[in-house]
Amino acid sequence: MPKQKLIIISGSPCVGKTTVAEQLFESLENCAHLDGDWVWRINPFSIADPRLRNGDKNMSFVLSTYLNSDFEYVIFSSVVAMYKHIREPILRDITAKNFMTIGFTLTCSEETLTVRHKNRGDDGEVDFRWLREAPYPNDYVIHTDGKMAAQIVAEIKGIIG
């Protein structure tokens, strides 16, 4: 059984991916974290922008580097990782071998997302389409309503062992 674990955390914007990933990172030894937002931040943002696929290659490269550096845990948080046509090529282009991938999709109610969006200071209208997307096949789905990030981290740690 592979010792290394690539932990993918996806879900809607404002659902708690970054907060959970950062706290999970801080709670694990021998760990690295890549926030996908760092790699393909563009303005104006559009998931349909074909240039984002260049960012996906950078994600594969960074994940490969972390895994090839023998980190026991590599955390990858990203909105786009919820899409099969994006996640699969990212994973396929990773050069490391013999690691286990464990995916999590975080979700919440529209009411919770609206509050989090407002608390983040976003002035625009809340987009619920991300919440309505089906989770990535075989991901663990964690509902974040009424939970602190530490509780969600504990759930994830219980699953990843």
Q: What is the pLDDT of residues 101-115, one digit of tens each?
A: 999 999 999 999 999
The parent domain of residue 43 ranges over 4-160
Q: How far apart are CA 121 and CA 117, in angstroms?
A: 7
Q: How far apart are CA 81 and CA 103, in angstroms?
A: 9
Q: How far apart are CA 29 and CA 117, in angstroms?
A: 31
DSSP string, 28-75: SSSEEEEEGGGTS--SS--TT-TTHHHHHHHHHHHHHHHHHTT-SEEE
pLDDT of residue 50: 82
* Number of domain units in the chain: 1
Q: What is the pLDDT of residues 51-101, one digit of tens each?
A: 878 888 999 999 999 999 999 999 999 998 999 999 999 999 999 999 999
pLDDT of residue 47: 73
CATH number at residue 153: 3.40.50.300
- Residue 66's CB: how many other CB atoms inside 10 A? 23
Q: What residues form DSSP beta bridges with 33? A: 75
- Write down the mean pLDDT value for the chain: 93
Q: Which of 139, 161, 144 is nearest to 28 (CA)?
A: 161
